[in-house]
Structures are given as C-alpha cells and as structure tokens.
Structure 1
C-alpha cells in the first residue's frame, strides 16, 4: 500500500509553519489520501492552535477520525497510520502519531525518538478491556483481532471498537544543537535503529539527498515494506 506524504512550508498569521507528515495506509488508498488533504487543515482550524497547540492537535486527530468513520461508505474499508510534525517559526516542533511511523530528532549527533510505536503487544490490556484480543501466531507479528499490526490508526471501522485513534503528542524546543528531523514509515524502522538512521546521514547537508540515502540503506538491508522518508534540515 502506497504511503502519502506532506512536506511544505507556509505562512499563517505572521508565523512560518513547516508541515510534515507520512500516512501509511492499509487495505485502501482513500483514507491516507483523505488525511493528506484534510488533517493539517483541521489542525490549523482549531481556535487555540497557537496557544495550546498540543491539545489542538489531539482534538483535530479525533475529529478527523470521526469524520472518516462517518464517511466509511465513501472512503471504504481499511485505515491509515499517521505521523505529523509541525515546525513553528523554526523554534518549536510538535509531533503527533498513531501507529508505527516514526519521528526522530537529532541533537548533537544523538537520535531521540519523539513518536511512540503503537504495537498491539504493548497495548494488549487496553485492547482486551475494549472487548478485542491480540493474536500471536508463529512467524507473524501480534495483531489486533488477528488482523491489524498496529494498536492505533485512523479508520478501520470494522475494528474501531477495539482500536484507538488517540495520538501521542510531544513537543521539542529547536535550539542550536538541533540538526535535523527524520519522519519515516515502518519500512525504515524494521531494518534500522534510530541512531543508525541518524548516523547514515550525519555528513549529508541536503534534505532530499538525506531522505534518499536512508531509503536506499533500508532497501539494501532488504526492507520489504513500503518505505517513505522525510528529512528536515534545521541548520
């Protein structure tokens, strides 16, 4: 399933915003495509976006997922993971995610993960409390109700009673030690650690070239999943 990507800078209310995201869909292209077109629009519409950014992001995630479920007749089955990063005036970074796409920041050459991998095995209790189960078959990863390999996602109406769309949200101050940010889908992280991804581009100064370098390294390590990568250089 193809990943959908956002990477843009825009001026909003005298602020410069960097908007970056990867939406990794399953069973359908329609939901990640919808997220690419609507999630940031919904986030920026929140009235307290500038004053309480983290809570605004949470509300927009919830509202967007509610709309996706209401539009299930048009958008079809399936769903999507998401990792979003909002860079505000190159001073503050707000990251949110559902699923297993990841955001990693590099400061002084050291990788720090800002997102949370929402794996069914880690959230088994919550899934079971909602009436679901986590399968673990030989040779396979844990799955919600024997189907989905992530515990949180947009959409997936047939699993929604047992699945969460609650994002983890984190903020980071951008200072002179901050070098770059990596957003990537799980096809990267299945074959590379956070630090390995950082190390393989530490001498690359061009963002597009850096993202290409990480992608090629993952392919060289025989990653068989969809691979999408965004690198944002901060100095």
Structure 2
C-alpha cells in the first residue's frame, strides 16, 4: 500500500517442491510428496522484499500443507500491514485456524471463510490495546487435494490464476473510489489529492481491511470469495501484495513466469522485476504451481 517507500532485499526465500505437510517458515530446500490417487501435485515458492521506508517489514506470508479429514490442504496467504506489523502477524498465526475451525467449512467453505474473516476482525478490534491501531489487507488461497481452489481477499493484495497462459483475476481490489457510496453512507468520505490515490477519510488507500480501529466505522471486513476447479489447463496462481501490482498488470506477471517451472524462481523473478520497475513498496509474492 501507500505506507512504504524504497527497498532493500530481504533474505526470506523458501521453496517447497510438493505437498508434504511441512510447517511454514521451516527453512530452505525441497521436500517431496508422492501424491495419492485423489490428490494432484501442488508446488509453491515465495520471495519477499522489504521497503526502505524507515520502519520494519510489514508484509507477511503464509504457506503450509495440512492433512485434515482425509484431505490434503494447501494454505497460502499474503498479509500487507500498515501502521505496524502486529495485525498481519496476528493474521498469520490465526486466520487459517479460524477458517478451518468453522463447523461448516467442509459443507459450505464460502460461508465459513466469510464468517472467519469477520470473527477474526472482531477479535483484532477487541484486542486493539495489544495489537495497536494498525491494520492489514489479506489474500488467502486454500487448495483442497490439488483440485479445488478457494480464494478470498480484503484490500488490494491480489490473486491471479493462469490457464493456458491466460490470466484471470480471482480477487477484488477494494479501492475507496469504487466503494465511495458505502463509505459515505457510513459517515466517512473519500479524498483524492493531486498526485495521490483515493483515500478513506484522507488516510487509507483501501476500502476494506482487518483492524484499523479508528477507521473501522467506514471500512469493511467482508471478503470477496471465489471458487475454481483446478484442471489440466490450470498452470499456476500468483498471490502478491500491491507492491507488485502497482507496477505490473496481470498479463505481464503471467507472461514473465509462465515458462518458469520452479515456483520459487518464478516468485523471485516477479519481485526482481517489480524492483526494476521502481516499486517503492514492500513486495511479497507466492507462486503456486499445479501438475
């Protein structure tokens, strides 16, 4: 988002070659998983770059595989914080657990994801003394048995799927000018100063976010949720913070990595290109490959 300036490379790189039940942030290298008859192969890699903005990195990522109720789940997310890193850190530790703990997750994933996003935001606001006044965007992806993909988001971190070289955006960029009517109906306003982007109450450049207690009356924590089937034409998904999407459109991102089989190399290529295009924001990227 708008809160970070400049850059310096962070050495946070991980490659997990296949579904393997590994824990997040467990180090570098590869691990192998022989897929069963009901599970398609899933691979991922990530790369993060810190902005040189006078504060610590506020982007977080999550990448983990879990076995649950006879299914293999791939859980992936980008959290882009603002006004500190406590809210994205909290989301990394809690959001997926809250989603999977919803009693109706297997029967109605969409309702479960929406409920978990709302309840998690409520908990963040109730603990604002500990978590501070900041907030975070989120884009989450849940891959079930390598066949079924559920994407949800609030804010402007984005998910793009590639099928046969053609991109499709699975998330919604929640921009203030698009939601101006709702924001004004809730007593807020949207300003656009010369040379700047639209902002809620002149402050935040997204219309939906976790946290942000001081703006919450005018912000939404309602996620957009999308479900797609992963078939033989599905190549990969890119999850990234707006530090990437500010300088690159969906087609450019897909074209850049569609022939890169190593997902970690693909993620690193995307962040390197964003830097070359003078992105001054924190840049976080996960590439998930199928088949």
Report the TM-score when normalising by structure 2: 0.80
1:2, CA displacement in angstroms? 2.2
Give 2:201's aligned residue: 145
Which of 167, 170, 173 is matched with 1:114 structurally? Answer: 170
- Deviation at residue 12 of structure 1 after TM alignment: 1.0
Residue 36 of structure 1 is matched in structure 2 by 92
Q: Deviations over 1:168-200 (max 9, x none)?
A: 000011000000000000010001010100000
Q: Does 1:178 align with 2:234?
A: yes
1:14-51 CA-to-partner distances (Å, cap 9, x unmatched) read 10000000000000110000000000000000011111
Greater than 6 Å deviation, 4+ residue runs: none
Which of residues 260, 264, 284 is equivalent to 1:208? 264
Structure 1 distance, partners of 2:65, 2:290, is 13
Looking at structure 1, the residues matched to 154 and 209 of structure 2 have their Cα atoms a distance apart, in angstroms, of: 5
Deviation by residue 1:60-117 (Cα, 9 ceiling, x = unmatched): 0000000000000110111000000000111110000000000000001000000000
Partners of 1:2 and 1:59 in 2: how far apart?
Answer: 25
* Bigger Rg over Cα: 2
Gaps of 5+ in 1: none
1:55-94 matches, cutoff 5 A: 55-94=111-150
The residue number in structure 1 matching 2:37 is: none
Q: Aligned to 1:63, what secondary structure does the other structure show?
A: helix
Matching of residue 96 in structure 1 with residue 152 in structure 2: yes
1:154 counterpart residue number: 210
CA distance in 2, matches of 1:76, 1:176: 45
- Aligned CA RMSD, in angstroms, stands at 0.6
| In structure 2, C-alpha distance between the alignment counterparts of 1:166 and 1:10, rounded to whole Å | 26
Looking at structure 2, the residues matched to 8 and 211 of structure 1 have their Cα atoms a distance apart, in angstroms, of: 17
**Map 1:39-54 → 2, pairs under 5 A:** 39-54=95-110
Corresponding position of 1:224:
280
Q: What's 1:197 paired with?
A: 253
Q: Distance in 1 between matches of 2:258 and 2:234?
A: 12
CA distance in 1: counterparts of 2:219 and 2:116, whole angstroms:
18
Higher relative contact order (CA 8 A, sep 6+): 2
C-alpha displacement at 1:205, in angstroms? 0.3
C-alpha distance in structure 2 between counterparts of 1:213 and 1:50, whole Å: 36
Pick aligned residue for 2:187 from 127, 131, 147: 131
Larger helix percent: 1
Matched, 1:169 2:225: yes
> Contact 2:171/2:225 (CA < 8 Å) preserved in 1?
yes
- For 1:91 and 1:52, locate their aligned partners in 2 and report how far apart those are by CA, in whole Å: 16
Matches of 1:179 and 1:51 in 2, distance apart? Answer: 27
Total equivalences in the alignment: 235
Any idea what SS the aligned residue of 1:22 has? strand
